[in-house]
């Protein structure tokens, strides 16, 4: 399939899952807008590299996803949004009675409220264009829970709920809204945690991956950013025109337990 002529905005996309999805979108011809809260030369260079590699228009726009006005400004500055991929997210782990209020507020703002603001700004553009896709990167934690992740689980459950609302509000339009729910994905951030975890548990790399990081992932294999990008690409295809308001798990069987 080709997404030539479409513009995809991917929040939180200068690394990890967001960057992987942006590359997959560009690979099938979509112009892409990368985003994060920094404004470094390497951020803009990354967009330039993607544009050259895939022959598309690629831009980087700084916007702090914890601020609603900047979320909306991202979409407005992009000028066009056929495909909105809400991916930005952060994490903090602590018992609920010890959970820092500032961390709760930041996680809810970045992981949940940002998607509200970007979607509100993007829908008029999609309606004007006569086509649109809202793809929210939720999590296995949007469907289940783990201890010590109260803010993250709450935000991801919220994203799943908001996805359903957007789908219902656009059900009679050529716009769909769906959530992808990854389990553990091998990103540079996860990769960096492995050596310290090996030392902490006195385990081999293989044992840390299978018995610690992937304890709840029955396949005992990480999902990849390319797989997530492929699912996003499918959701943009004609085959997915009647898929809306649902979740697609990419979690190696985690939510089958």
Mark out the alpha helices in 35-181 (DSSP H runs).
41-54, 68-78, 101-108, 114-129, 150-169
Please write down the long-range contacts of 153-162, taking CB distance under 8 Å and 24 or more positions apart: 154/108, 154/112, 155/89, 155/107, 155/108, 155/111, 155/112, 156/111, 158/108, 158/112, 159/86, 159/111, 159/112, 159/115, 160/136, 160/247, 162/112, 162/115, 162/116, 162/119, 162/136
Judge whether 60 counts as a catalytic residue: no
The catalytically annotated residue of 60, 152, 184, 201 is 152
Angle 150-169/101-108 helices, nearest 10 degrees?
A: 20
Q: Scanning the structure block, which residue is given the tokens 């809306």?
A: 244
Q: Give the strands of the sheet with 83-86, arranged side by side.
A: 58-62, 31-36, 7-10, 83-86, 132-137, 175-182, 247-250
Closest to 33 (Cα-Cα) out of 75, 96, 94, 67: 75
Encoding tokens for residue 83?
């495909």
What positions carry a catalytic annotation? 152
């Amino acid at each position: 399939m080709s997404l030539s002529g479409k513009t995809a905005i991917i929040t939180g996309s200068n690394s990890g899952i967001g960057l992987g999805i942006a590359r997959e979108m560009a690979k099938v011809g979509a112009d892409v807008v990368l985003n994060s809260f920094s404004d470094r030369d390497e951020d803009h260079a990354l967009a330039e590299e993607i544009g050259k590699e895939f022959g598309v228009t690629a831009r980087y726009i700084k916007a702090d996803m914890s601020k609603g006005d900047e979320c909306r400004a991202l979409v407005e500055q992009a000028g066009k949004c056929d495909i909105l991929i809400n991916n930005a997210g952060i994490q903090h782990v602590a018992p609920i009675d010890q959970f820092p209020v500032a961390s709760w507020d930041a996680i809810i703002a970045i992981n949940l409220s940002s998607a509200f603001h970007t979607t509100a700004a993007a829908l008029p553009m999609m309606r004007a264009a006569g086509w649109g896709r809202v793809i929210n990167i939720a999590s296995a934690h949007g469907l289940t829970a783990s201890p010590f992740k109260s803010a993250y689980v709450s935000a991801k459950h919220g994203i799943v709920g908001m996805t359903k609302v957007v789908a219902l509000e656009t059900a009679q339009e050529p716009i769909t809204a769906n959530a992808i729910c990854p389990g553990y994905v091998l990103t540079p951030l996860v990769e960096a945690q492995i050596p310290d975890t090996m030392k902490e548990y006195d385990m081999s790399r293989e044992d840390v991956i299978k018995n610690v990081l992937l304890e709840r992932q029955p396949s005992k294999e990480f999902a990849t950013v390319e797989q997530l990008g492929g699912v996003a690409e499918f959701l943009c295809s004609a085959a997915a025109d009647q898929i809306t308001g649902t979740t697609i798990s990419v979690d190696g069987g985690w939510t089958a337990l």
